[in-house]
Structure 1
Amino acid sequence: MSLPAYDQNLGEIHNLSIPSGTLTPEERYKINGHVISTLRMLEQLPFPKEMTKIPRYAATHHEVLNGTGYPRQLTAKDLSLPERIIGVADIFEALTAADRPYKKAKKISEALEILQDMVEKNLIDADVFNLFLTSGVCMEYARRYLAPELIDVADVSRYLSQSISAG
């Protein structure tokens, strides 16, 4: 992750000049640090041989195909299929989660439009996104975990991506 210029900046102009979102670079850096903490904690656990990749998988959930994710700015060629799957699942869950005090849960249609846009921008894997939709996992998750008023899509086929991801 790129280290911000300051540990914190309490200046009003700096804090009011955020180009997008609501966090300063310093606040974003601190929040993004949860991935590093996750990796450090999980690497200390004695996983059985068949589970030794779990720390990497958990610490890769904010990486994206074009290398602009964090903490390591991995690209499509660096991301395994399980890591790509976790990325799509994490984004969908974050968008639709109702237990976050800082944001309202999005409807399925809104979440799928955002994911579709992320496919078009080569941030997430198109094939994984399409599988998420066509396998029924998306709607099964929605029915099991989301409030009925958030489930505003019956047919997910309109969100299917026509492009194939890089890598």
Structure 2
Amino acid sequence: MTQSPENEVQHQAELEQTHRQLKEYFAFVAEMNVGGEVLSEDKKIRLDFIAQTTWLRHFSNRLGLSPADQERISSEEESLPCEEQLLSDKPEHIISRKSGTSYEPHLDIKMTVPEYLYNQGELYNLKVERGTLTAEDRFKINEHIISTIRMLDALPFPKELARVPRYASTHHEKMDGTGYPRKLTKDQLSIPERIMVLADIFEALTAADRPYKKAKTVSEAINIMAKMVAEEHIDADVFELFLTTETYKVYAENFLAPEQIDEVDVARYLKK
């Protein structure tokens, strides 16, 4: 403005427009960071567009990093100020595995292991298809079931409790065989195991203690579960039983916050 004072009004208008645009960008990126059920293609395109916006960095990007983080940055530090994109995936965002992952053959574990231990890329994390967890995050969380299996496998259960390890380790399976840890199909799962699958999903969707998501209302949870039935993740008959017996309502009244309990149009989800 000081270089061309005669254009001060125009420059001020341009500055205000840029501020408004950046606020819109920030709000959109913040929304993507929270995650949702499905990330549409147009939102991915907009993220890519925003990522191309550049800014001048006047400070070292090594400040405040742990020794391990500094070690991953192999490139020379740029001279300041330097131009950068608002969002990017960089080599230092990749954290490699230092050891392989293997399981005892008799446990029949069939989990797909991601190539990297973690990928902290900004665009990579913002473009998660569903929710907020990357493949690497989800695998790290899913590994808890391996510890469960190993501990239960080592215990001498009496005959009447012999199936406890099996029930405890199959609640993450899906009817189409894409679940974990054994990729079992509907035909390979007993009725109690299919019930455990549904129960675990409903509890997870409505739980208020998960740091990566907001607790769903009863109707939101059931709507999501109906889609999972259509995708063959949940057994359709067990889902219908869950609704017609109003088991969802009994659970909600005993364990959910009042604001989570709302009306469910059960009829729309029942088989005609």
Pairwise same-fold verdict (TM > 0.5): yes
Does 2:38 align with 1:38?
no
Give the 3 Å change call, closer, same or farther, for CA 12–130 of structure 1 in structure 2: closer
**What is the deviation of 1:159?**
2.6
- Which of 216, 220, 232 is residue 106 of structure 1 equivalent to? 216
Provide the C-alpha distance between the structure 2 equivalents of 1:85 and 1:148, rounded to a whole number of angstroms: 25
Q: Which of 143, 157, 163 is residue 267 of structure 2 equivalent to?
A: 157
Q: Distance in 1 between matches of 2:214 and 2:228?
A: 20
* Shift of residue 11, structure 1, vs aligned partner: 5.0
Stretch of structure 1 that moved more, 26-35 or 80-89: 26-35
| Residues 52 and 119 of structure 1, relative CA distance in 2, 3 Å threshold | same
Distance 1:9 1:152, change over 3 A: closer
**What residue is the counterpart of 1:165 in the other structure?**
none
Deviation at 1:17, TM superposition (A): 5.3
| CA radius of gyration, larger in | 2
Q: Distance in 2 between matches of 1:36 and 1:43?
A: 10
Q: Distance in 1 between matches of 2:215 and 2:128?
A: 24
Residue 69 of structure 1 aligns to a residue in which SS? Answer: coil
TM-score after normalising by structure 1: 0.86
CA distance in 2, matches of 1:13, 1:109: 32
Structure 1 residues 52-71: aligned runs within 5 Å: 52-71=162-181
| Contact 1:116/1:161 (8 A) holds in 2 | no
Kindly report which structure 2 residues correspond to 1:2-17, keeping only aligned pairs within 5 A, or say none. Answer: 2-11=112-121, 14-15=124-125
Give the structure 2 partner of residue 89 of structure 1: 199
Partners of 1:141 and 1:158 in 2: how far apart?
A: 21
Structure with the bigger RCO (C-alpha within 8 Å, sep 6+) is 1
Aligned residues: 162
1:25-45 Cα distance to aligned partner (Å, 9 max, x none): 222211110111111112222
| Superposed displacement of residue 152, structure 1 | 0.8
Distance 1:130 1:19, change over 3 A: closer
| Aligned residue in 1 for 2:251 | 141
Secondary structure, aligned partner of 2:241: helix
Look up the match of 2:133. Answer: 23
Point out the structure with the larger strand share: 2
How far off its partner does 1:8 sit?
A: 3.1
Distance 2:209 2:223 in 1: 21
- Two-structure CA RMSD over aligned residues (Å): 1.9
Question: Contact (CA 8 Å) 1:116, 1:159: kept in 2 or not?
Answer: yes
Question: Which of 20-29 and 71-80 deviates more?
Answer: 20-29
Query: What stretches of structure 2 of length at least 5 have no aligned partner?
Result: 1-110
Structure 1 stretches lacking a partner, 5+ long: 163-167
Identity value in percent: 61
The SS at the match of 2:143 is helix
CA distance in 2, matches of 1:16, 1:154: 32
